[in-house]
Amino acid sequence: MEALDLIRTLNARPAVRSFNDRSVPLEVLRQIIEVARWTGSARNRQPWRFIGVSDKELLEKLGALGAYAQHIAAAPCALILLSADNGFQDTEFDLGKVSQTVTLAATALGLGSCLATIYPEANVTKAATLLRVESGWRPHHAISLGYPGAPMPGKRAITTGRLSTLELLSTHRL
């Protein structure tokens, strides 16, 4: 049961948007990708690539790309998740899967993280230019990464609880 408890503990950790000054070494990003790259995907397409960014100016520019990317500007590092622009219906689902592995692996390494969505499409195009992404790949999602700083003052606008198992799970003859 130990393994399950560990996943629960890592998964229940709230998102972190406030970081201290400690930088995220490239070796740590490599360790995260080394775990995340085994994530399953439809027909094993692995429709993802990753760009690690720690350049302050670039982080600020990325953080200006829409309402759901702002926290990137204050993070010491962002891991950009590139989605294959392949028209397959499963691609967003697969990107969600690998992002979840990245989040769990980052948490296991003591990092705080917060998902960002670069939105709308015009901002995805801007991000692609800033990051010099080759065509066929879309920087639509990113994960802010860093070592947790002091919690931000004030209450979060969004409730942080979760629905119970009883509310979430029904059964057919089990």
Residues in 26-65 that interact with a copy of itself by CB under 8 A: 26, 29-31, 33-40, 42-44, 46, 48-55, 58
Site for a copy of itself in 131-160 (CB under 8 A): 131, 141, 158-160
Please name the residues in contact with 68: beta carbons below 8 A apart, sequence gap of 6 or more. Answer: 116, 117, 118, 119
The Cβ-side half-sphere exposure at 139, using a 13 Å CA radius, reads 27
Q: Is 109 in the site for a copy of itself (CB under 8 A)?
A: yes
For a copy of itself, give the closer residue by CB, 150 or 171. Answer: 171
Size of the site for a copy of itself (CB under 8 A): 73
Q: Which of 97, 103, 114 lies closest to 156 in space, CA to CA? A: 114
Check binding of 99 to a copy of itself (CB under 8 A).
yes
Task: Indicate the residue among 20 and 26 with the shorter CB distance to a copy of itself.
Answer: 26
